[in-house]
């Protein structure tokens, strides 16, 4: 009986189809916050700015994938077409950091300013 109760509680905690609250997401530690300096390169997008808590990188190439959450500051969905040179954004990452200059990362979440 306990296993069934636990399964019901876990099932109740799953995400609904509701979109994420961008204001709540920006309070989590980010990788870099800054402006795009290059776009649509084979290796991804280049971002330069201030490093996030626990990171020291001021510049990185990042790639977006099907799992990347791309939002505007008001919480509405954005697309890769919104990633233009000069656009300010905050970047969260997932996976390994490739040690090159600048580093190369996979975007987990991007909030456009």
For the chain, give every domain's residue range. Answer: 21-112
pLDDT number for residue 9: 34
pLDDT number for residue 97: 95
**Torsion of the alpha carbons at 2, 5, 6 and 11, rounded to the nearest 10:** 160
Q: Is the pTM of this model over 0.85?
A: no
Task: Quote the strand ranges of 10-87, DSSP E.
Answer: 32-41, 44-51, 59-63, 69-72
4: left (phi over 0), alpha (psi -120 to 50) or beta: alpha
pLDDT tens-place values along the chain, 113 residues long: 434 333 333 333 333 334 455 555 556 799 999 999 999 888 899 999 999 988 999 999 999 999 999 999 999 999 999 999 999 999 999 999 999 999 999 999 999 99
């Amino acid at each position: 009986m306990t296993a069934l109760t636990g399964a019901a509680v876990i099932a109740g905690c799953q995400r609904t189809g509701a979109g994420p609250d961008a204001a709540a997401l920006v309070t989590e530690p980010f990788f870099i916050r800054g402006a795009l300096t290059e776009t649509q390169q084979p290796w991804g997008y280049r971002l330069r700015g201030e490093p996030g808590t626990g990171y020291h990188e001021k510049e990185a190439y990042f790639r977006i994938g099907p799992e990347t959450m791309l939002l505007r500051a008001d919480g509405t969905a954005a697309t890769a077409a919104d990633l233009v040179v000069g656009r300010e954004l905050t970047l969260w990452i997932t996976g390994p950091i490739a040690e090159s200059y600048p580093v190369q990362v996979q975007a987990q979440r991007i909030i456009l300013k």
